[in-house]
Amino acid sequence: MPLSNGRNRRTRKLFKRPFRGHGISNTSTILHTYKVGDYVTILCNSSIQHGLPYKAFHGKTGRVWNVNPHAIGVMVNKKVNNRIVVKRLHISPEHIRPSGCQKDFLERKAAVAAIRKQNIHFKKKERTSSITS
């Protein structure tokens, strides 16, 4: 029905549960501790309707800015016409999961820190010519 304009319209395939993934989700998703500044990915779980974000934010990665007992505040960038607006959402923890978007950066940062501990200098040194005329 293309003329229906409900909040969850046209989400039949977007919010569907994976194969053999129906029913109540694990308690570990609810009990995960989120801290301010963590990166999270918004993935809607249609088996739990409360705290469900709008469909435009499904699959987006954002940063935690607020932690409440029953909701996590997430900042997400959204394109509105010709600009990007920062949206602040309060989402139930069942609909978010930790993001791995910074994993490569943190590994590279640790590798550089280990090299710096060995006192290896990366700066270019002036060449001294061995031939004197």
Q: Average pLDDT for residues 28-46, to the nearest whole number?
A: 93
Whole-number pLDDT of residue 23? 86
Residue percentage of the chain with pLDDT more than 90: 53
Whole-number pLDDT of residue 2? 67
Closest to 91 in 3D by CA, of 117, 62, 114, 111: 62
Model confidence over 63-117: pLDDT tens digits? 999 999 999 999 999 999 999 999 999 999 999 999 999 888 899 899 888 988 8
* pTM for the full predicted model: 0.78
Match domain 1-100 to its CATH number in 2.60.120.370, 3.40.190.80, 2.30.180.10, 2.30.30.70: 2.30.30.70
- What tokens does 94 get? 């069942």
Q: Average pLDDT for residues 38-67, to the nearest whole number?
A: 94
**Phi (first) and psi of residue 62, to 5 degrees:** -140, 180
